[in-house]
A and B are shown apart, each in its own frame.
Chain A
Amino acid sequence: DSGVTQTPKHLITATGQRVTLRCSPRSGDLSVYWYQQSLDQGLQFLIQYYNGEERAKGNILERFSAQQFPDLHSELNLSSLELGDSALYFCASSVGGGDGYTFGSGTRLTVV
């Protein structure tokens, strides 16, 4: 157990639908990062939050959004889903000092 909890582990949904992925960071970590991992794109950085504030944005689509709540857990919302959104979505957390990230075990999203 890495200390970063992601739910659900698996998600199957239809095109056009909306889903929410949840992440609880490791205790004491203020930064949360979201990554998408697919076979053709590899690990793509989506977005970072630090203590509730958006810190950095990567290749995140406009159909995707995220937020970090006061208790530091984070949610990634994916809407108008397309087949190409099928991927593993990872959440990672860090203290913020550059010690590297701790990754969760991911949510596997399948869009059918």
Chain B
Amino acid sequence: AQSVTQPDIHITVSEGASLELRCNYSYGATPYLFWYVQSPGQGLQLLLKYFSGDTLVQGIKGFEAEFKRSQSSFNLRKPSVHWSDAAEYFCAVGAKGGDMRFGAGTRLTVKP
């Protein structure tokens, strides 16, 4: 069965600092991996996705993620965080054409 673990419930970083949000997945086949962001009262917006190929993927808003098959991880990174990045971040795993399972989310707070 597919599942996603986001070990960090809440992370606080200073504006301008680097960010890494952790994600570990369990999936029987080659996974489709995603990161979404949710601002308060909003729906989820796709940041980036990985299916195959280059294991470092670039997304919107300056985010990137690296797929590491040996560690079953798909961590999200950003070199310099902006106050507007404060939100909830969800990692998800799914299959082509199939449903997607989400992690519990990591809430990001940005200190001025």
A residues near B, CB below 8 A?
Answer: 2, 4, 31, 33, 35, 42-43, 45, 48, 50, 55-56, 58, 90, 92, 96-106
Contact = CB atoms under 8 A, between A and B. Distances in A.
A2 B43 contact: yes
A98 B52 CA distance: 12
Interface stretch (B14-22, B63-71, B75-83, B89-97): B89-97
Given A55-B99, A90-B44, 9 more contacts: A4-B43, A42-B103, A43-B90, A48-B98, A56-B98, A100-B32, A101-B46, A102-B46, A105-B42
5 contacts: A55-B99, A96-B97, A98-B94, A99-B49, A100-B32
Contact of B97 (A50, A92, A105): A50
B93 to A, nearest CB: 11
Interface of B: 32, 34, 36, 42-46, 49, 51, 90, 94-105
A100 B43 contact: no
B38 to A, nearest CB: 9
A42 B97 contact: no
Contacts of A103: 36, 43-45
A50 B102 CA distance: 20
A53 B57 CA distance: 33
Give the 4 A-B CB pairs with smallest separation, nearest first.
Answer: A98-B96, A103-B43, A43-B102, A103-B44
A97 B102 contact: no
B99 A56 contact: yes
Given A90-B43, A90-B44, A104-B43, A98 B32 contact: yes
A40 to B, nearest CB: 10
B99 A48 contact: yes
A98 B95 contact: yes
Contacts of B32: 98, 100
B99 A58 contact: yes
Contacts of B46: 100-102
B105 A42 contact: yes
Most chain A CB neighbours (cut-off 10 Å) among B49, B99, B102: B99
Contacts of A50: 97
